[in-house]
Amino acid sequence: MFQQEPTMFPGPQVAAVLTTAIMLAGCTNATFPPSSSPALVDCGAAELQSKLGQPVGGGTATDASVGGVLVLSKGDVRVIAPGQAVIQNYSEDRLNLETDGSGKLLRATCG
């Protein structure tokens, strides 16, 4: 009797099943859990319009707060005190927090 030598490759049926499974895996819909933070419609300024007059703290995107609550921004956060010189380059994702002499929010704008 002839003895069949083992091969390194699976039979054509196994290869077809594996190929089909790999191709179908690329067709699945991935779902992600909803984010716990709201989606920003701009740099974050729109969310702060109801907080005018509240104290501003920090000065960077990681620690800036208004009324004791961290602010959300798509980019940098710039806290601007009265009379402070600022560069005038425009960045749509940058959040500008303009304050009065006592550190309270006067205006929140993008730029």
pTM over the 0.75 mark: no
How much of the chain is helix, strand and coil, in % rounded to 5?
20, 20, 60
pLDDT at 15: 61
Q: What are phi and psi of 99, to 5 degrees?
A: -115, 160
Compare 2 and 68 and report the one with higher pLDDT.
Answer: 68
C-alpha neighbours within 13 Å on the C-beta side of residue 66: 27
pLDDT at 12: 65
Taking the C-alpha atoms of residue 26 and residue 74, their distance in angstroms, rounded to an integer, is 31
Which domains, from first to last, does the chain contain?
46-110 (3.30.10.10)
Q: What is the mean pLDDT of residues 56-81?
A: 92
pLDDT at 101: 95
Q: Choose among 70, 44, 99, 57: nearest CA to 107.
A: 99
Compare 106 and 28 and report the one with higher pLDDT.
Answer: 106
Q: What is the pLDDT of residues 18-55, one digit of tens each?
A: 566 565 555 544 444 444 455 667 899 999 999 999 99
- What are the Cα distances from residue 25, in Å, to 12, 17, 106? 20, 12, 53
- What are the Cα distances from residue 21, in Å, to 8, 11, 12? 21, 16, 14
Compare 33 and 62 and report the one with higher pLDDT.
Answer: 62
